[in-house]
Chain A
Amino acid sequence: MCRPQGPASVGCVIEIESLSKRYGDKYAVRDLTFQVRPGRVTGFLGPNGAGKSTTMRAVLGLDLPTAGRIRVDGKPYTALDRPLTHVGALLDAGAVHPGRDARQHLRAVAAAGKLPERRVDEVLARVGLTEVAARRVGGFSLGMRQRLGIATALLGDPGILMFDEPVNGLDPEGIRWIRDLMKGMAAEGRTVFVSSHLMSEMENTADHLVVIGKGRLIADVSTRELIARSAGGFLKVRTDAPGPLITLLAEAGARVTPDGPEVLRVEGLDGDQVARLAHRAGILLLEVARQPISLEDAYLQLTDAAVEYRGAQA
Chain B
Amino acid sequence: MIKSEWIKLWSVRSSWWSLYVAAAGMIGIAVTYSLVIKPVQATPTDALQGAAFGQLAFGVLGVLAVSTEYSTGLIRTTFATVPRRRRVIAAKAALLVAVLLAAAQIVAFAAFFTAQLLLGHRGVHFSLGDRDMLISVLGCGCYMTFIGMFGFCVGVLLQKTTPAIATFFGIVFVAMGVIPNLMPDSIKADVTRLTFLKIGEAMSNPARTLPRDATDGLLSTGAAWGMCLVYLAVVVVVPLLVVTRRDTD
Q: Which residues of A contact B (CB under 8 A)?
A: 57, 60-64, 77-78, 80, 83-84, 87, 89, 91-92, 94-101, 104-105, 107-113, 152
Contacts and interface: CB of A to CB of B under 8 A. Distances in A.
A59 B11 CA distance: 30
Nearest to B80: A60
Contacts of A113: 81-82
Interface residues of B, number: 28
Contacts of B8: 97, 100, 104, 108
A265 B227 CA distance: 85
A99 B12 contact: yes
29 contacts: A57-B249, A60-B76, A61-B79, A77-B83, A83-B80, A83-B81, A87-B80, A89-B77, A92-B73, A94-B73, A95-B72, A96-B72, A97-B8, A97-B12, A97-B69, A99-B12, A100-B8, A100-B12, A104-B7, A104-B8, A108-B4, A108-B7, A109-B4, A109-B77, A109-B78, A109-B81, A111-B7, A112-B4, A112-B82
Top 8 closest A-B pairs, CB basis?
A95-B73, A112-B4, A111-B4, A104-B11, A78-B83, A108-B7, A99-B12, A111-B3
Contacts of B248: 57, 62-63
Interface of B: 1, 3-5, 7-8, 11-14, 68-69, 72-74, 76-84, 88, 247-249
A62 B249 contact: yes
A89 B79 CA distance: 12
A57 B76 contact: yes
Nearest to A79: B83
Contacts of A100: 8, 11-12
Contact of B77 (A78, A80, A152): A152
Contacts of A107: 7
B73 A112 contact: no
Main SS class of interface, B: helix
Given A63-B249, A77-B83, A109-B77, 7 more contacts: A61-B79, A83-B83, A91-B73, A97-B12, A97-B68, A104-B11, A109-B4
B249 A99 contact: no
Q: Which of A83, A100, A104 has the most CB of B within 10 A?
A: A100
A95 B69 CA distance: 8
Contacts of B7: 104, 107-108, 111
Nearest to A100: B11
Contacts of B247: 57, 62-64
Contact of B76 (A78, A95, A110): A95
B83 to A, nearest CB: 4
